[in-house]
Structures are given as C-alpha cells and as structure tokens.
A and B are shown apart, each in its own frame.
Chain A
Amino acid sequence: MKMRDVTVLIALSVAALAALVITPLMGMRMLSIGSIMADEQTRYIFTSIRVPRTIAAFLAGGGLALCGMVYQALFRNPLADPFTLGISSGASLGAALCIAGGIGGSLIGLSLVSVGAFAGALAAMALVYVFAQLKSGSSTSLLLAGVIVGMLCSSMLMFVYYISPLRYTFQIIRWTMGGVDGATMDAIAVMAPLFAGSLAVVVLLLPKLDQFVTGEDIATTRGVSVARSRNTLLIATSVMIAAVVAVCGPIAFVGIMAPHACRMMLRAPKHTMLAATSFLAGGTFLTLSDTVARSIAPPTEIPVGIITALCGGPFFLWILFRKSHQSYF
C-alpha cells in the first residue's frame, strides 16, 4: 500500500469520527455535554433527534458515495452517479403518489411515504434491469434503459405535481430536494439490515470492480464472470440506494463529489481503498452539510440537498479548470 493513501485513509477516519462526535451537539441550539446530562428536554433533542439524524446523514452520504463509485467503475464513466439509472425518479414518483394520495401513517416504524419511495425505487430498477436484459444485458443497454425509465418516471411525476392540490405539490417538491430531517431511530433500524447486507455484497465484489475498469474484454479473459458480477452489484447498490433515498430523499451530488475528491487525493487507487475513503468522505460531507442545513437559517432549516447541490456546481468548475489532466477511465 502507498504511504500517501494510508495517510489519506487515516485523516478521513479521524475527520469522520470527529464529525460523528461533535456535530450532534451543533444545530439551531448548541448543546453541551453538561446540559444533556442535566436537562431532560435537551437529552430528548440529543438522543431522539440529533443522534439519529447524524447517523442517517453519515450512512446516507457514505452509501451514496460508495454506490456512485460503483457506477463510475461499472460504466467506466466519471459522470455516473447513484441516480444515473433513474432510481431517484422512481423513488420520487413513489413518494409523490403516496403524498398526493394523502396516504399518511407508518408501517414498521417507517412512514408510508418512505415505503412508497422505497417501492418506487426498486420498481424502477427492476424495469431498468428487465429492459436491459431484453436488449442485450450490456452496460450500454443498462445506461439507456436507465435514462428511459428515469424519463418515464419524471414525466409521470410532473403529471402528479400538476394535478395535486398545491399543498401536496409543495410537499412533493420538498421531498425531492432531499433531507435528513425525517430520519428516526425506527427508520434507521428498519433500513440497517438492508444497508448492511448490500454493503457486504459490494465490499466482496470490490476486486471485480478493479477488473471492470480495465474493460469488459480484459475482465472476462482474466476470469471474471462479467454479467453475473454486474447484476449482483446492480441489485446490491439498488437496495442500498433505495434504503437511503426512502429515508433521506434523493440527495444530489454526494455520490459523484466524494469519489472524485478521493481519486484526487489518492494515487491511482484500487477500489478497496477508493471505496473505504469514498464512504468516509461522503459520510463526513453529508454529516457536515446537514449540520449547516439545520443551523444556517434559524428558526427554520433548509433541505440538505440544497447545500450539497450548491457545493456540487463549484466543485465541478474547479475540476474543469484545475491544471492536472489526470484521466480516470
């Protein structure tokens, strides 16, 4: 392993740990350890609101970054992100239908809007997969099927916007901006096994991603079952992204910024190192972004998706104009 890469990994771990410990104390109201011990109301804010939010933000950011990295490698495309295959449009449509249908309440600790988003996300990915298989099963047909399903869902979403009463329309738009504010311990507990399971699958397949990036022909002749690995990765990442989006909505740019930032810090990394650093960087970034989102405009808070999107633009401008012309794929 390269010294610089190890240094980056340690630095990111320290940053992640610091963010996880310190940011729950920060927000519209600064909490101190003493007041959490002493005051019941403060303790409630800390344990039932701030801590779940911090955990959700970190896992969501890490998961999106990891899945973004997987898609960039699978499609050999630096601009791929977790939502490239239309999963966010599917989730948004699912959530929108629940909101517009006036479906409230919750199921096993998860709001029904989240359940709708989760179902919408997985339904969209199932469609993408079926369309791609009907064509040729290649990564190109997957990309095209993803774009098509995404557009179909988006157009139906527009229709739902248009026919819904205004208050629902606003709720839907708010949902599509993404935010960690709705995260509860119950929701995290429901999604945790799905998240952990898909994370384990992705981690086991990281060596295959290293091969994918050299091209499908080379990967095949090296002994990788390209189609099977790709399909397994697709299922695992779909479940992970669906779990994240169901709780947090489609938070933009984390899945593309974090892996690129790590590629720049590391020296020609393989995917095990890139995955670990991207997860930490994405998690830390979203945790910090959410802290800003809930502190910047009291007494209200702004959706964290706005913060990440505001960072995304300048980030890519910087990539565009930076001196080095390192190419990734």
Chain B
Amino acid sequence: MPLLTTSALTAGYGAAPVLREVSWSVAANERWAIIGRNGSGKSTLVKCLASLIAPILGEATIEGRPVAAYAPRERARLISYVPQATGRAIPYTVRDYVMLGRYAWQGLLALPTRDDHSAADKAMKLTDVAAFAERPLTTLSGGEAQRVFLAGAVAQQAKLMLLDEPTSFLDPHHDAMFYQVLERIHAEYEVTVIAVTHDVNAALNRYTHVLALREGSVFFAGNVGQFMAKTPGILEDIYSVKFRRFTSPDDGAVMFAPWMSCAGGLP
C-alpha cells in the first residue's frame, strides 16, 4: 500500500483552482522532488498534504485515510512540514524551538519527557545544530536557521516530511550541507520526503523521484531515471526555456543549465 495517495485532488485559493485533478501516489521511503514553474501548484499541493488548505474536490490520503480525517495530533505524528525559508523571526532558543516539534507526542501541558529530550537531542545532532543549541534563533544565519527548522520537523518523528523550497535562499555551502543533513535523516529514520524545489539539478541528484506540475496538472511522475531519459526535452516543456546538458569530466555527473538563444526570446 502506498504511504500517500492523491486522487483527483483539486485545490486553490479563490474561484479558479490552482491544482487540477492531481492523482499521484508515493510509497514509503521514497524521496520526491516537486518541480514546475511559479504558479504551477507546487506549494498548493504541499499545503493540501499538510492540511493547511482544504481541497475543493478530491482528496489526499495517508495510510489509507484522508488527511482531513485525522485529529491534528494524530496527523502531526504522520506528516511534518518545513515551510519556505522566509526569515521569520522566532524568539526562542534552538533547543526550545526543536522541543516544540514534540507537541504531538506530549500531554496537555507539553511537559517534556525523557523521550522528548532524547528525540530533540538526536534531531539537533543529526542536523548539526547542537553546537548552538542554547542560542536564540534570531541570532542565527539563514543557513543555520533553516537547519533548525529541519531539526524541529525531525524531532516530530513523522513518517512523511514535507519541505517547501527548503534551500531557495541558501548559499552553495549551506545548500550542500542541507542536503547532506537530509541524507543523514533519511538514513536514520527512513522518512519519506516530498520537497518543492526550483533547482533542477538538486531534483535529479538529491531525490529518487520527480513530480513535475504544469498549470496545476501532473506533467510527469516517476523515478529520476525515467525523467533523465526524457531530458532535456521534458525540461523545456516544463519551464518553457531551453536547457543545456553538461557532463562532468570528473565523475560523469549530469547537470542542466537554462539558456536562451540570442535569436529568440522566451518561446
């Protein structure tokens, strides 16, 4: 049984749906990158899965039950979420913030148990933030803060982790570090990952599967190998811009870079 399925999921913010009849399924332990142009419905899809917005039609189910049918704490034990790195100021220390991720496992007064402490400690260690555990989040750099947000989701110990453009504002160093940490988390918890990204190369190198959305509909859903076989043509179809393909002489890794011919503008 797949961990997550969506059937004819249609959602949006006003009269016109952003997401149209998305039917898709994710098996446990897979790592999906969701790609597509701005406004293609990537974030809307993730927010539907996180129950932050309700679908207009269709539904998303996790472990066979619609996400909306779970009690909030039950759902939080299955699905965690790391929002877009928008530089939100959070007035807590790193340790306190990560401990907040334990909410779904705690009682009414949210008094941390020994389990909560060890989960938080482990999450901070895996994400390399333990060194500044006692510092307020407001004193961290964007890259450090993003790993702390990730640590909060790790402490939540959900089966599915949703990430909305987790590395969009990170420099190459923190970007690489973020993916290294994500790799470590995946190895440790076998967590299923769904991440929105604009970074095509990250999608093809850091994830196992790709979901491409175009104008709110599924344009491609499959593993990275299948996607790779259709490049670079499929990238042009998704983004309406030409891509060049490069192969690294060092290790044969394939990279894509968007470019425009001098003659024409945007197709």
Contacts and interface: CB of A to CB of B under 8 A. Distances in A.
B97 interface: yes
Nearest to A221: B81
B90 A223 contact: no
Interface in B195-240: none
Give the most central of B72, B74, B89: most A CB within 10 Å: B72
B108 interface: yes
Nearest to B97: A214
B74 to A, nearest CB: 8
A204 B89 CA distance: 25
Query: DSSP majority for the B interface?
Result: mixed
Given A215-B83, A220-B52, A268 B96 contact: yes
Contact of B73 (A223, A268, A269, A329): A223
Contact of A223 (B92, B96, B103, B136): B103
A270 B138 contact: no
Contacts of A124: none
B248 to A, nearest CB: 38
Interface stretch (A22-30, A101-109, A205-213, A298-306): A205-213
Given A214-B90, A217-B83, A268-B91, A222 B138 contact: no
Given A267-B136, A270-B96, A223 B91 contact: no
Give the most central of A218, A269, A329: most B CB within 10 Å: A218
B101 interface: yes
B93 A268 contact: yes
A41 interface: no
Query: DSSP majority for the A interface?
Result: loop
A263 interface: yes
Nearest to B86: A215
Give the most central of B47, B74, B91, B137: most A CB within 10 Å: B91
Interface string A52-65: 00000000000000
A315 interface: no
Interface string B102-113: 011010111000
Nearest to B74: A223
Interface in A282-329: 326-329
Contacts of B156: 222
B109 A204 contact: yes
Nearest to A268: B136
B138 A224 contact: no
Interface residues of A, number: 24
B126 interface: no
Interface in B38-94: 47, 50-52, 72-77, 79-81, 83, 88-93
A329 B88 CA distance: 7
A223 B75 contact: yes
B54 to A, nearest CB: 12
A221 B90 contact: no
Contact of B80 (A207, A221, A327): A221
A215 B83 CA distance: 10
A204 B111 CA distance: 12
Contacts of B96: 210, 268, 270
Contacts of A225: 72
B18 interface: no
A222 B76 contact: yes
A222 B75 CA distance: 9
Contacts of A217: 47, 50, 52, 81, 83
Contacts of B89: 327-329
B171 to A, nearest CB: 22
B151 interface: no
Contact of B92 (A207, A220, A221, A270): A270
B100 A214 contact: yes
Nearest to A223: B76
Contacts of A329: 89-91
Contacts of A267: 93, 136
Contacts of A269: 91
B91 A218 contact: no
Given A214-B97, A217-B52, A263 B81 contact: no
Contacts of B81: 217-218, 221
Interface in B118-150: 136-138
Contact of A222 (B90, B91, B104, B136): B104
Given A214-B90, A224-B103, 8 more contacts: A218-B83, A221-B81, A222-B103, A222-B104, A268-B96, A326-B136, A326-B138, A328-B89
Interface of B: 47, 50-52, 72-77, 79-81, 83, 88-93, 96-97, 100-101, 103-104, 106, 108-110, 136-138, 152, 156, 162
Interface of A: 204, 207, 210-211, 213-215, 217-218, 220-225, 263, 267-270, 326-329
14 contacts: A207-B108, A210-B96, A213-B92, A214-B90, A217-B50, A218-B83, A222-B103, A224-B72, A224-B103, A225-B72, A268-B91, A270-B92, A327-B89, A329-B91
